[in-house]
Amino acid sequence: MNAPFARADGCATPSAALPVLKERGQREVFCGLTGIIWLHRKIQDAFFLVVGSRTCAHLLQSAAGVMIFAEPRFATAIIDERDLAGLADANTELDRVVTRLLERRSDIKLLFLVGSCPSEVIKLDLGRAAARLSQQFSPGVRVLNWSGSGIETTFTQGEDACLAALVPELPATDAPGLLVVGAMADVAEDQFRRLFDALGVGPVRFLPPRRSGDLPAVGPNTRLLMAQPFLADTLRALEARGATRLPAPFPFGAEGTTEWLRAAAVAWSVDPAHFAAVVAPAQERARHALSLHRTVLAGKRVFFFPDSQLEVPLARFLARELGMVPVEVGTPYLHRVLLDRELPWLPSGTQLSEGQDVERQLDRCRAARPDLVVCGLGLANPLEVEGLTTKWSIELVFSPVHGYEQAGDLAGLFTRPLDRRQRLAA
């Protein structure tokens, strides 16, 4: 048995010491349908059929417009007035749409029926519809459902709902293994796979998989390494299958990535010297890339509006590795278990807020006059007009930001708006 690793530590502040401002009021967030934009690129033989309104279709189109490489592996089955008035049988309509879709698209192996506010309003039972259609189209196509409804949700919950819907489909196993949970860019996934191989940690599987036929097995000897901080329901479902989470910060920046990998290395009893030797080259490249951005960001004050649920890990990264000062870190939900290794790393004096009352938060932001505001698209333009510099939080979910090689790019997402503002002022 190898000696346990010492944790890298610094200006730790017990999370219990940080005050949390809980707010309930008007919120400015996208709904869970937005997750389809990155999930449809990740699971390459899946199709996402939103059962919703024209509003839902418009949201998807505008969110997809942010992406350069959007592909048509999602669509909206529009619920119209006749359905809403109960004049048409929505189930019959849905069966007709799905049959036509699957006849035309033999490449689809996994079909998600995605619920929306309108489908919930008319109480369309998509779970039952998915079971019925799955039976009809099996074994060629599996049909599952989840809800992206915007009632009381935020946009990254779409991924959580989607992955949680996949968990009952995962095969069972008693074999030991590591499961990395959360959608990451393929390039980051490949880099991590190489690092785990070099460390001798494995077998390693990823959820979601790139092909729906490649679902990872799960069981009592599966260790979970969470790649995203917003997957509370997925984690619960995996734990119910017997898997155990390895507590770790999230793999953002050199430090977060090292400690995330270290959590797996400790569980696999990897020799500390071997661990250090394996991660050293990439860790050094990441530190060097970050040092270039630190000169711009150090001492700058940053304010997070609650949106992506990445706020706490990103604030930790910006504070500890780039010297920024988080003024307020707002998050839609504060998942204390998932953030157990992140919260103690926030600097003392950081105002944490959970939930949103947007007008009051805007007042606090205006009063603080931060150098950078991380917020949703709806708030960014008005704040820019008021002279504040903003970063769209949704970009942080769409971009490859995990791991050592992306650490510099992640920092660049924060330096760019400051740079642009400076050039406009010059």
Nearer to ligand SF4, 76 or 415 (CB): 76
Nearer to ligand SF4, 61 or 295 (CB): 61
Tokens (6 digits) for 140: 């060629």
Tokens (6 digits) for 329: 């870190």
Cβ 47 to ligand SF4 shortest distance, Å: 18
Nearer to ligand SF4, 34 or 258 (CB): 34
Asked if 413 touches ligand SF4 (CB under 6 A), the answer is no
Cβ 31 to ligand SF4 shortest distance, Å: 3
Work out the angle between the directed axes of helices 272-297 and 407-425 (0-180°, nearest 10).
10
Asked if 157 touches ligand SF4 (CB under 6 A), the answer is no
Query: How far is residue 282 CA from its own chain's centroid?
Result: 24
Cβ 367 to ligand SF4 shortest distance, Å: 30
Asked if 150 touches ligand SF4 (CB under 6 A), the answer is yes
How far is 303 from 308, CA to CA, in rounded Å? Answer: 14
Query: Which of 37, 43, 56, 224 is in the footprint of ligand SF4 by CB under 6 A?
Result: 56
Asked if 113 touches ligand SF4 (CB under 6 A), the answer is no
How far is 363 from 227, CA to CA, in rounded Å? Answer: 33
Asked if 154 touches ligand SF4 (CB under 6 A), the answer is no
How far is 41 from 71, CA to CA, in rounded Å? Answer: 8
Q: What mask, x for binding ligand SF4 by CB under 6 A, covers residues 8 to 47?
A: -----------------------x-x--------------
Cβ 261 to ligand SF4 shortest distance, Å: 36
| Angle made by CA atoms 196, 165, 406, in degrees to the nearest 5 | 35
> Would you say 160 and 232 are in contact if contact means Cβ atoms under 8 Å apart?
yes
Tell me the CA distances in angstroms from 27 to 86, 172, 375, one per residue in order: 31, 40, 12
Asked if 148 touches ligand SF4 (CB under 6 A), the answer is yes
Asked if 116 touches ligand SF4 (CB under 6 A), the answer is yes
The count of chain residues that interact with ligand SF4, using the rule CB under 6 A, is: 12
Nearer to ligand SF4, 157 or 353 (CB): 157
Asked if 332 touches ligand SF4 (CB under 6 A), the answer is no
How far is 172 from 217, CA to CA, in rounded Å? Answer: 5
Cβ 68 to ligand SF4 shortest distance, Å: 22
Give the dihedral of Cα atoms 76, 82, 86, 89; nearest 10 deg.
Answer: -60
Query: Which of 2, 13, 44, 55 is in the footprint of ligand SF4 by CB under 6 A?
Result: 55
How far is 313 from 229, CA to CA, in rounded Å? Answer: 8
In the block, tokens 């779970």 appear at: 127
Cβ 61 to ligand SF4 shortest distance, Å: 11
Cβ 124 to ligand SF4 shortest distance, Å: 13
Q: Measured at CB, which residue is nearest to ligand SF4?
A: 150
In the block, tokens 């939900």 appear at: 333
3-state secondary structure of 328: strand
Tell me the CA distances in angstroms from 221 to 166, 202, 217, 249, 266, one per residue in order: 19, 12, 10, 21, 15
> Interface with ligand SF4 by CB under 6 A: which residues?
31, 33, 52-53, 55-56, 59, 116-117, 148-150
